[in-house]
Amino acid sequence: MSDRSQLISTGKPFQYDQQRDAEFERLIKRYPTRESMILPALWLIQEQEGWISQEAIAYVADRIGTFASKVYEAVTFYTMYQLQPMGKNHICVCRTLSCWLRGKQEIVDYLKNEIGITPGKVSDDGRFSLEEVECLGHCGTAPVVQVNGEFYENMDVDKLKALLATLK
């Protein structure tokens, strides 16, 4: 898993934008405890900023009224929360079982060798970042790649090349 303790500080306090603020208020009514909002609140941050900073975590803890350590626990436990800025197009390649059996390695190798993207790093032009993730639940159409929330199934290197060309 590797250590996710290191949080990045922006040096500025965090604030929800108007849309997320309203969504926070709407969602919190649907749970009997405020702490149930920890995961949804973190998702709102990620939707707004693309990643979650130290200040954002403190903001969520204080707004919900819980310990910062509890939010810190959740944000490091759940690996979908990005703790550093990602590329404009974050490419998730499934690496488990069926995708592994049907050729995910070629896709990863292509991204590493031809495009120069390695897991955890952002490409020089800021367009791409890469993450190998666990089973995405599309085993029947393996290998599968997820970019910006969209699933791209039955992938191979050619289809990948075509996809990358469309991503700004």
Partner 1 sequence: MEVKLLSAKFDIKNSHKLKTAKKHGAYGTLDKIFAMKPEDVIEEVKKSGLRGRGGAGFPAGVKWGFLPKNTGKPVYLAVNSDESEPATFKDRYILVKDPHMLIEGIIICSYAIGSHDAYIYIRGEYTTQVKALQAAIDEAYAAGYLGEKVAEHDYRVDVTVHRGAGAYVCGEETALLESIEGKKGQPRSKPPFPAVAGLYGCPTIINNVQSIASLPWIIENGADAYKAYGTEKSPGTHLFGISGHVEKPGMYELPLGLPLLEVVEKVAGGVWKGRKLKGIIPGGSSTPVLLPEEAKSVTLDYESMAAHKTMFGSGGIVVLDETVDIVQLVKNLIDFYHHESCGQCTPCREGLGWMLKIIKKIVRGDGSIDDVKLLRELCDNIEMKTVCVLSAACTMPVRSYLDKFRHEFEAYVNKNASSAVQANQE
Partner 2 sequence: MADKIKLFVNGVEVEVEAGKNLIDAIGAVGIEIPHLCYHPALGADGNCRMCLVGIEDGRPPLVPACKTPAQAGMKVLLNADHIKKIQHDVMEFELINHPIDCPICDQAGECKLQDYYMSYDQRESRMTVPPVAKNKKMDFGCGVVHDQERCVCCGRCVRFCRQITKTGELGIINRTDDARVNIFPGRPLNNRYALNVVDLCPVGAMTSKDFRFKQRVWFLKKDPGICHGCAKGCNIFIDHNRPKYQDDSIYRFRPRLNNQVNGYFICDEGRLSYTSENDGRLNDGRIGGQVRPLVDVLAAAGKEIERAAKTAILLSPNCSVEQMAGVKALAEKLGATLSGFSDGYIKAGDGDDFLILDDKSANRAGLALLGIDCSREFFEKAVQEAQLLINFNNKLQLSYSADDLKKLLKDTRIMAVTTHDDQMAAMADLAIPVASFSEYRGSVVNCDNILQSFAKAVTRNNDLAEIGAIAAQLGSPLQTEAERFADLGKYIGPLKNIEPDNIPAEGLNLNESEATNVKA
* Residues at the site binding partner 1, with contacts judged by CB under 8 A: 1, 30-33, 35-40, 42-43, 66, 70, 73-74, 77-81, 92, 95-98, 100-103, 105-106, 133-142, 146, 149-151
- Confirm or reject binding of residue 113 to partner 2 (CB under 8 A): no
Question: Phi and psi for 117 in degrees, rounded to 5?
Answer: -100, 125
Q: Cα separations (Å) of 22 from 43, 53, 92, 136?
A: 14, 21, 30, 31
Strands 128-133 and 145-147: unpaired
Contact indicator for 142, 94 with CB cutoff of 8 Å: yes
Choose between 133 and 164: whose C-beta lies nearer to partner 1.
Answer: 133
Judged by beta carbon, residue 70 or residue 159, the one nearer partner 2 is 70
Shortest Å distance, C-beta 42 to partner 2? 14
Closer to partner 2 at the Cβ: 61 or 99? 61
Residue 93 contacts residue 107 (beta carbons within 8 Å): yes
| Of 126, 139, 35, 131, nearest in space to 81 by CA | 131
Residue 54 contact, options partner 1, partner 2, none, Cβ 5-8 Å cut-off depending on partner type: partner 2
H, E, C per residue of 121-140: CECCCCCEEEEEECCCCCHH
Q: Is 84 in the site for partner 2 (CB under 8 A)?
A: no
Closer CB to partner 1, residue 12 or residue 26?
Answer: 26
Looking at 7, 135, 157, 163, which residue binds partner 2 (CB under 8 A)? 7
